Structure 1
Protein backbone atom coordinates (compact mmCIF):
# COMPACT_ATOMS: atom_id res chain seq x y z
CA UNK A 1 0.00 0.00 0.00
CA UNK A 2 1.18 3.48 -0.89
CA UNK A 3 0.02 6.19 1.51
CA UNK A 4 0.40 9.78 0.38
CA UNK A 5 0.15 12.05 3.38
CA UNK A 6 -0.16 15.79 3.65
CA UNK A 7 2.55 17.18 5.92
CA UNK A 8 0.80 20.51 6.17
CA UNK A 9 2.82 23.72 6.48
CA UNK A 10 6.15 23.77 8.31
CA UNK A 11 4.63 23.49 11.81
CA UNK A 12 4.84 19.81 12.77
CA UNK A 13 1.96 20.29 15.24
CA UNK A 14 -0.38 20.68 12.28
CA UNK A 15 0.24 17.18 10.89
CA UNK A 16 -2.89 15.07 11.38
CA UNK A 17 -2.96 12.12 13.77
CA UNK A 18 -3.72 9.79 10.85
CA UNK A 19 -0.62 10.98 9.03
CA UNK A 20 1.54 10.60 12.14
CA UNK A 21 0.37 7.02 12.62
CA UNK A 22 1.20 6.12 9.03
CA UNK A 23 4.67 7.62 9.38
CA UNK A 24 5.30 5.57 12.53
CA UNK A 25 4.41 2.32 10.75
CA UNK A 26 6.23 3.10 7.49
CA UNK A 27 8.78 0.70 6.03
CA UNK A 28 9.76 3.23 3.36
CA UNK A 29 9.58 7.02 3.49
CA UNK A 30 9.54 8.88 0.18
CA UNK A 31 9.80 12.63 -0.23
CA UNK A 32 11.80 15.72 -1.03
CA UNK A 33 15.01 16.19 0.94
CA UNK A 34 13.51 18.94 3.13
CA UNK A 35 10.73 16.64 4.32
CA UNK A 36 12.91 13.56 4.73
CA UNK A 37 15.33 15.53 6.88
CA UNK A 38 12.69 15.61 9.62
CA UNK A 39 12.98 11.83 9.98
CA UNK A 40 16.71 11.18 10.04
CA UNK A 41 16.33 8.80 13.00
CA UNK A 42 13.31 6.94 11.64
CA UNK A 43 14.27 3.31 10.94
CA UNK A 44 12.45 3.25 7.58
CA UNK A 45 14.29 3.10 4.28
CA UNK A 46 14.47 6.58 2.69
CA UNK A 47 13.93 7.42 -0.97
CA UNK A 48 14.62 11.01 -1.99
CA UNK A 49 12.50 12.35 -4.81
CA UNK A 50 14.08 14.32 -7.63
CA UNK A 51 12.79 16.42 -10.47
CA UNK A 52 11.97 13.30 -12.52
CA UNK A 53 8.56 12.38 -11.09
CA UNK A 54 8.14 9.59 -13.64
CA UNK A 55 11.23 7.87 -12.22
CA UNK A 56 9.75 8.11 -8.72
CA UNK A 57 6.46 6.62 -9.90
CA UNK A 58 8.30 3.73 -11.57
CA UNK A 59 10.29 3.07 -8.40
CA UNK A 60 7.08 3.10 -6.34
CA UNK A 61 5.48 0.69 -8.80
CA UNK A 62 8.41 -1.73 -8.43
CA UNK A 63 8.25 -1.62 -4.63
CA UNK A 64 4.49 -2.03 -4.59
CA UNK A 65 4.66 -5.11 -6.83
CA UNK A 66 7.14 -6.91 -4.63
CA UNK A 67 6.80 -10.69 -4.77
CA UNK A 68 7.82 -11.00 -1.15
CA UNK A 69 5.25 -12.07 1.37
CA UNK A 70 5.58 -8.68 3.03
CA UNK A 71 4.56 -5.78 0.80
CA UNK A 72 6.12 -2.72 2.40
CA UNK A 73 4.17 0.15 3.88
CA UNK A 74 5.25 3.03 1.69
CA UNK A 75 4.57 6.57 2.88
CA UNK A 76 5.02 9.46 0.47
CA UNK A 77 5.52 12.76 2.29
CA UNK A 78 3.83 15.68 0.53
CA UNK A 79 4.13 19.35 1.39
CA UNK A 80 0.87 20.99 2.39
CA UNK A 81 -2.02 19.05 0.90
CA UNK A 82 -1.13 16.31 -1.61
CA UNK A 83 -4.03 17.16 -3.92
CA UNK A 84 -3.39 20.90 -4.15
CA UNK A 85 -0.66 21.19 -6.78
CA UNK A 86 1.09 18.26 -5.13
CA UNK A 87 2.31 14.72 -5.81
CA UNK A 88 -1.09 13.27 -4.88
CA UNK A 89 -2.57 13.87 -8.32
CA UNK A 90 0.18 11.94 -10.12
CA UNK A 91 -0.01 8.99 -7.72
CA UNK A 92 -3.81 8.89 -7.92
CA UNK A 93 -3.51 8.68 -11.71
CA UNK A 94 -0.74 6.06 -11.65
CA UNK A 95 -2.15 3.61 -9.09
CA UNK A 96 -5.51 1.93 -8.62
CA UNK A 97 -7.61 2.94 -5.58
CA UNK A 98 -6.87 -0.35 -3.84
CA UNK A 99 -3.12 0.30 -4.19
CA UNK A 100 -3.00 3.75 -2.62
CA UNK A 101 -4.61 6.06 -0.12
CA UNK A 102 -4.32 9.82 0.22
CA UNK A 103 -4.49 11.57 3.58
CA UNK A 104 -5.13 15.32 3.25
CA UNK A 105 -3.10 17.99 4.99
CA UNK A 106 -3.36 21.70 5.66
CA UNK A 107 -2.29 23.59 2.56
CA UNK A 108 -0.23 26.77 2.44
CA UNK A 109 -3.27 28.47 0.93
CA UNK A 110 -5.41 27.54 3.94
CA UNK A 111 -2.63 28.67 6.26
CA UNK A 112 -2.44 32.13 4.69
CA UNK A 113 -6.20 32.72 4.65
CA UNK A 114 -6.47 31.66 8.28
CA UNK A 115 -3.53 33.85 9.33
CA UNK A 116 -5.12 36.99 7.88
CA UNK A 117 -8.69 36.11 8.86
CA UNK A 118 -10.19 36.08 5.37
CA UNK A 119 -12.65 33.38 4.31
CA UNK A 120 -11.93 31.11 1.37
CA UNK A 121 -15.48 31.30 0.00
CA UNK A 122 -15.47 31.88 -3.77
CA UNK A 123 -11.66 31.89 -4.00
CA UNK A 124 -10.07 30.89 -7.30
CA UNK A 125 -6.96 28.79 -6.65
CA UNK A 126 -4.23 28.37 -9.23
CA UNK A 127 -0.47 28.03 -9.60
CA UNK A 128 2.41 29.40 -11.65
CA UNK A 129 4.53 26.25 -11.25
CA UNK A 130 6.03 25.36 -14.60
CA UNK A 131 3.53 27.35 -16.64
CA UNK A 132 2.60 30.84 -17.78
CA UNK A 133 -0.57 31.91 -15.97
CA UNK A 134 -3.43 33.49 -17.92
CA UNK A 135 -3.42 36.79 -16.02
CA UNK A 136 -6.37 38.24 -17.92
CA UNK A 137 -8.47 35.31 -16.72
CA UNK A 138 -7.03 35.40 -13.19
CA UNK A 139 -7.76 39.09 -12.75
CA UNK A 140 -11.42 38.55 -13.62
CA UNK A 141 -11.80 37.01 -10.15
CA UNK A 142 -12.23 39.11 -7.02
CA UNK A 143 -10.37 36.66 -4.77
CA UNK A 144 -7.43 34.60 -6.04
CA UNK A 145 -4.84 32.41 -4.34
CA UNK A 146 -1.76 31.75 -6.44
CA UNK A 147 0.92 29.24 -5.48
CA UNK A 148 4.07 30.70 -6.98
CA UNK A 149 7.42 29.49 -8.22
CA UNK A 150 10.80 31.19 -8.64
CA UNK A 151 10.02 32.44 -12.17
CA UNK A 152 6.60 33.96 -11.59
CA UNK A 153 6.14 35.32 -8.09
CA UNK A 154 4.77 38.41 -6.31
CA UNK A 155 6.78 40.94 -8.32
CA UNK A 156 5.75 39.53 -11.69
CA UNK A 157 2.10 39.42 -10.57
CA UNK A 158 2.30 43.02 -9.39
CA UNK A 159 3.80 44.15 -12.69
CA UNK A 160 0.97 42.48 -14.61
CA UNK A 161 -1.54 44.41 -12.49
CA UNK A 162 0.29 47.70 -12.99
CA UNK A 163 0.46 47.19 -16.76
CA UNK A 164 -3.32 46.80 -16.84
CA UNK A 165 -3.99 49.68 -14.49
CA UNK A 166 -5.83 47.42 -12.05
CA UNK A 167 -6.24 48.22 -8.37
CA UNK A 168 -5.75 45.14 -6.21
CA UNK A 169 -4.39 44.25 -2.76
CA UNK A 170 -1.67 41.61 -2.66
CA UNK A 171 -1.20 39.47 0.44
CA UNK A 172 2.15 37.70 0.32
CA UNK A 173 2.76 34.84 2.72
CA UNK A 174 6.39 33.74 2.96
CA UNK A 175 7.60 30.50 4.59
CA UNK A 176 4.09 29.76 5.83
CA UNK A 177 4.02 27.54 8.90
CA UNK A 178 7.73 27.95 9.61
CA UNK A 179 9.29 30.04 12.41
CA UNK A 180 10.39 32.65 9.84
CA UNK A 181 6.85 33.10 8.49
CA UNK A 182 6.15 36.61 7.27
CA UNK A 183 2.98 38.13 5.81
CA UNK A 184 2.88 41.38 3.84
CA UNK A 185 -0.22 43.29 2.67
CA UNK A 186 0.76 45.57 -0.21
CA UNK A 187 -0.41 47.56 -3.19
CA UNK A 188 1.18 46.38 -6.46
CA UNK A 189 3.53 49.39 -6.49
CA UNK A 190 4.94 48.36 -3.10
CA UNK A 191 5.88 44.79 -4.05
CA UNK A 192 9.62 44.08 -3.98
CA UNK A 193 11.60 41.99 -6.45
CA UNK A 194 12.44 39.02 -4.19
CA UNK A 195 10.46 36.97 -1.68
CA UNK A 196 11.13 33.60 -0.10
CA UNK A 197 8.86 30.56 -0.63
CA UNK A 198 5.41 32.09 -0.87
CA UNK A 199 1.73 32.11 -1.71
CA UNK A 200 0.03 35.23 -3.04
CA UNK A 201 -3.59 36.25 -2.49
CA UNK A 202 -4.96 38.83 -4.90
CA UNK A 203 -8.00 40.76 -3.63
CA UNK A 204 -10.26 43.12 -5.52
CA UNK A 205 -11.51 45.28 -2.67
CA UNK A 206 -13.20 47.81 -4.95
CA UNK A 207 -15.87 45.47 -6.27
Structure 2
Protein backbone atom coordinates (compact mmCIF):
# COMPACT_ATOMS: atom_id res chain seq x y z
CA UNK A 1 0.00 0.00 0.00
CA UNK A 2 1.17 3.55 -0.73
CA UNK A 3 0.52 6.53 1.53
CA UNK A 4 1.50 10.15 0.91
CA UNK A 5 1.66 11.71 4.37
CA UNK A 6 1.82 15.40 5.21
CA UNK A 7 4.33 16.08 7.99
CA UNK A 8 3.56 19.78 8.42
CA UNK A 9 6.25 22.44 8.44
CA UNK A 10 6.84 22.59 12.19
CA UNK A 11 7.94 19.90 14.64
CA UNK A 12 4.82 18.55 16.34
CA UNK A 13 2.40 19.10 13.45
CA UNK A 14 1.89 15.43 12.60
CA UNK A 15 -1.62 14.03 13.02
CA UNK A 16 -2.17 10.86 15.04
CA UNK A 17 -3.08 9.00 11.87
CA UNK A 18 0.11 10.22 10.15
CA UNK A 19 2.17 8.95 13.10
CA UNK A 20 0.43 5.57 12.92
CA UNK A 21 1.04 5.28 9.15
CA UNK A 22 4.73 6.16 9.58
CA UNK A 23 5.21 3.70 12.45
CA UNK A 24 3.61 0.88 10.42
CA UNK A 25 5.60 1.49 7.23
CA UNK A 26 8.11 -0.97 5.76
CA UNK A 27 9.97 1.90 4.10
CA UNK A 28 9.65 5.70 4.36
CA UNK A 29 10.68 8.14 1.61
CA UNK A 30 11.02 11.91 1.84
CA UNK A 31 13.24 14.93 1.58
CA UNK A 32 15.89 15.39 4.28
CA UNK A 33 13.66 18.03 5.87
CA UNK A 34 10.53 15.82 5.82
CA UNK A 35 12.44 12.85 7.25
CA UNK A 36 13.78 15.10 10.03
CA UNK A 37 10.27 16.31 10.93
CA UNK A 38 9.06 12.69 11.27
CA UNK A 39 12.24 11.07 12.61
CA UNK A 40 10.80 10.29 16.05
CA UNK A 41 8.27 7.91 14.46
CA UNK A 42 10.30 6.19 11.74
CA UNK A 43 11.14 2.65 12.87
CA UNK A 44 11.99 1.19 9.46
CA UNK A 45 14.26 1.90 6.54
CA UNK A 46 14.21 5.54 5.42
CA UNK A 47 15.35 6.84 2.05
CA UNK A 48 15.95 10.34 0.73
CA UNK A 49 13.72 10.61 -2.30
CA UNK A 50 14.69 11.68 -5.80
CA UNK A 51 12.10 13.88 -7.48
CA UNK A 52 11.48 12.44 -10.94
CA UNK A 53 8.67 10.62 -12.73
CA UNK A 54 10.85 7.49 -12.96
CA UNK A 55 11.38 7.52 -9.19
CA UNK A 56 7.67 8.03 -8.56
CA UNK A 57 6.75 5.02 -10.73
CA UNK A 58 9.48 2.88 -9.10
CA UNK A 59 8.12 3.70 -5.63
CA UNK A 60 4.56 2.91 -6.73
CA UNK A 61 5.76 -0.46 -8.01
CA UNK A 62 7.57 -1.12 -4.71
CA UNK A 63 4.35 -0.37 -2.81
CA UNK A 64 2.63 -3.39 -4.39
CA UNK A 65 4.70 -5.63 -2.07
CA UNK A 66 5.40 -3.28 0.85
CA UNK A 67 3.76 -0.71 3.06
CA UNK A 68 5.36 2.48 1.67
CA UNK A 69 5.03 5.98 3.13
CA UNK A 70 6.10 9.08 1.24
CA UNK A 71 6.53 12.11 3.46
CA UNK A 72 5.51 15.47 2.04
CA UNK A 73 6.40 18.67 3.89
CA UNK A 74 3.32 20.66 4.73
CA UNK A 75 0.20 19.20 3.14
CA UNK A 76 0.55 16.84 0.16
CA UNK A 77 -2.24 18.67 -1.67
CA UNK A 78 -0.82 22.19 -1.26
CA UNK A 79 1.97 22.37 -3.82
CA UNK A 80 3.08 18.96 -2.55
CA UNK A 81 3.52 15.36 -3.62
CA UNK A 82 -0.14 14.35 -3.42
CA UNK A 83 -0.74 14.69 -7.16
CA UNK A 84 2.38 12.73 -8.11
CA UNK A 85 1.29 9.33 -6.79
CA UNK A 86 -1.64 6.93 -6.89
CA UNK A 87 -2.05 6.30 -3.18
CA UNK A 88 -3.92 7.34 -0.05
CA UNK A 89 -3.34 10.89 1.15
CA UNK A 90 -3.02 11.92 4.81
CA UNK A 91 -3.19 15.73 5.09
CA UNK A 92 -0.78 17.87 7.05
CA UNK A 93 -0.51 21.49 8.17
CA UNK A 94 0.88 23.56 5.30
CA UNK A 95 3.05 26.67 5.37
CA UNK A 96 0.00 28.43 3.90
CA UNK A 97 -1.96 27.68 7.08
CA UNK A 98 0.94 28.67 9.35
CA UNK A 99 1.35 31.99 7.49
CA UNK A 100 -2.38 32.77 7.60
CA UNK A 101 -2.46 32.17 11.36
CA UNK A 102 0.47 34.56 11.85
CA UNK A 103 -1.27 37.14 9.66
CA UNK A 104 -4.73 36.64 11.17
CA UNK A 105 -6.20 36.19 7.68
CA UNK A 106 -8.85 33.65 6.61
CA UNK A 107 -7.96 31.25 3.79
CA UNK A 108 -11.21 32.17 2.01
CA UNK A 109 -9.94 35.75 1.64
CA UNK A 110 -6.78 34.90 -0.33
CA UNK A 111 -5.67 33.56 -3.68
CA UNK A 112 -2.82 31.09 -3.21
CA UNK A 113 -0.26 31.10 -6.02
CA UNK A 114 2.62 28.66 -6.45
CA UNK A 115 5.61 30.57 -7.82
CA UNK A 116 8.27 27.93 -7.12
CA UNK A 117 10.37 27.74 -10.29
CA UNK A 118 7.57 29.57 -12.12
CA UNK A 119 6.90 33.12 -13.21
CA UNK A 120 3.18 33.70 -12.62
CA UNK A 121 1.56 36.46 -14.62
CA UNK A 122 -1.15 38.96 -13.73
CA UNK A 123 -0.49 38.90 -9.99
CA UNK A 124 -1.39 42.57 -9.63
CA UNK A 125 -4.63 41.84 -11.52
CA UNK A 126 -5.56 39.16 -8.95
CA UNK A 127 -5.29 41.78 -6.20
CA UNK A 128 -8.51 43.34 -7.52
CA UNK A 129 -10.37 40.35 -6.08
CA UNK A 130 -8.52 39.02 -3.04
CA UNK A 131 -5.31 39.19 -1.02
CA UNK A 132 -2.39 37.26 -2.52
CA UNK A 133 -0.43 34.55 -0.75
CA UNK A 134 2.50 33.46 -2.92
CA UNK A 135 4.67 30.39 -2.37
CA UNK A 136 7.96 31.85 -3.60
CA UNK A 137 11.59 30.92 -4.07
CA UNK A 138 14.76 33.01 -4.51
CA UNK A 139 14.00 33.60 -8.17
CA UNK A 140 10.71 35.37 -7.40
CA UNK A 141 10.86 39.08 -8.27
CA UNK A 142 9.03 40.74 -5.40
CA UNK A 143 9.67 44.19 -6.87
CA UNK A 144 6.69 43.69 -9.23
CA UNK A 145 4.57 45.00 -6.34
CA UNK A 146 6.47 48.32 -6.28
CA UNK A 147 5.61 50.60 -3.36
CA UNK A 148 2.89 48.27 -2.12
CA UNK A 149 3.33 46.94 1.42
CA UNK A 150 4.01 43.21 1.60
CA UNK A 151 4.81 40.60 4.21
CA UNK A 152 7.87 38.50 3.48
CA UNK A 153 7.78 35.30 5.54
CA UNK A 154 10.90 33.17 5.20
CA UNK A 155 11.65 29.74 6.67
CA UNK A 156 8.47 29.42 8.76
CA UNK A 157 8.98 27.14 11.80
CA UNK A 158 12.73 26.93 11.24
CA UNK A 159 15.48 28.32 13.47
CA UNK A 160 16.12 31.11 10.96
CA UNK A 161 12.44 32.14 10.57
CA UNK A 162 12.09 35.73 9.48
CA UNK A 163 8.95 37.84 8.97
CA UNK A 164 9.27 41.34 7.52
CA UNK A 165 6.61 43.87 6.56
CA UNK A 166 7.84 46.60 4.20
CA UNK A 167 7.46 48.05 0.73
CA UNK A 168 8.12 45.42 -1.90
CA UNK A 169 10.57 47.60 -3.80
CA UNK A 170 13.10 47.39 -0.94
CA UNK A 171 12.87 43.65 -0.33
CA UNK A 172 14.50 40.55 -1.77
CA UNK A 173 13.47 36.91 -1.45
CA UNK A 174 16.48 35.08 0.01
CA UNK A 175 15.05 31.64 0.75
CA UNK A 176 13.37 28.94 -1.31
CA UNK A 177 10.96 28.53 1.64
CA UNK A 178 9.23 31.90 1.40
CA UNK A 179 5.67 33.14 1.50
CA UNK A 180 4.87 36.59 0.17
CA UNK A 181 1.59 38.09 1.37
CA UNK A 182 0.08 41.11 -0.37
CA UNK A 183 -3.09 42.79 0.88
CA UNK A 184 -5.81 43.63 -1.61
The TM-score, its normalising length taken from structure 1, stands at: 0.79
Aligned to 1:132: 119
Q: Which is further off, 187-196 or 27-36?
A: 187-196
Pairwise CA distance, 1:195: 4.3
Paired residue secondary structure (1:13): coil
Instruction: Choose 104-113 or 117-126, whichever is displaced more.
Output: 117-126
Question: Which is higher, the Rg of structure 1 or of structure 2?
Answer: 1
Q: Is the 8 A contact 1:142 1:202 kept in 2?
A: no
Report the counterpart of residue 62 of structure 1 in structure 2. Answer: 61
Q: Note closer, same or farther for the CA distance 1:193–1:12 as it changes in structure 2 (3 Å cut).
A: closer
The answer for the alignment partner of 2:89 in structure 1 is 102
In structure 1, distance between residues paired with 2:97 and 2:28: 25
Matching residue of 1:29: 28
1:155-184 CA-partner distances (Å, limit 9, x unpaired): x12x2122xxxx532111111122332211
| Matched residue, 1:45 | 45
The corresponding residue for 1:122 is 109
Aligned pair partner of 2:148 in 156, 168, 174: 168
Q: Which residue number in structure 1 is paired with residue 170 of structure 2? A: 190
Q: Spell out structure 1 runs of 4+ moving beyond 4 A.
A: none
**SS of aligned partner of 1:189:** helix
Q: Which runs of 5+ in 1 are unaligned?
A: 66-70
Determine the C-alpha separation between the residues in 1 that align with 2:30 and 2:177: 18
| Corresponding residue for residue 3 of structure 1 | 3
Partners of 1:8 and 1:117 lie apart in 2 by: 19
Counterpart-to-counterpart distance in 1, 2:111 and 2:173: 24
Which one of 98, 101, 107 corresponds to residue 111 of structure 1? Answer: 98
Q: What is the aligned counterpart of 1:143 among 128, 131, 138? A: 131
Pairing partner for 1:88 from 66, 82, 89 = 82
Residues 33, 73 of structure 2: 8 Å contact kept: no
Aligned length: 182
Kindly state the Cα deviation for residue 40 of structure 1 after the two structures are TM-superposed.
8.5
Report the Cα distance in structure 2 between the residues aligned to 1:109 and 1:192, rounded to whole angstroms.
20
Cα distance, 1:105 vs. partner?
Answer: 0.7
- Unaligned runs of 5+ residues in structure 2 are none
Q: Paired residue for 1:180?
A: 160
Shift of 1:43: 3.5
Q: CA deviation at 1:194?
A: 2.9
TM-score scaled to structure 2, two decimals? Answer: 0.88
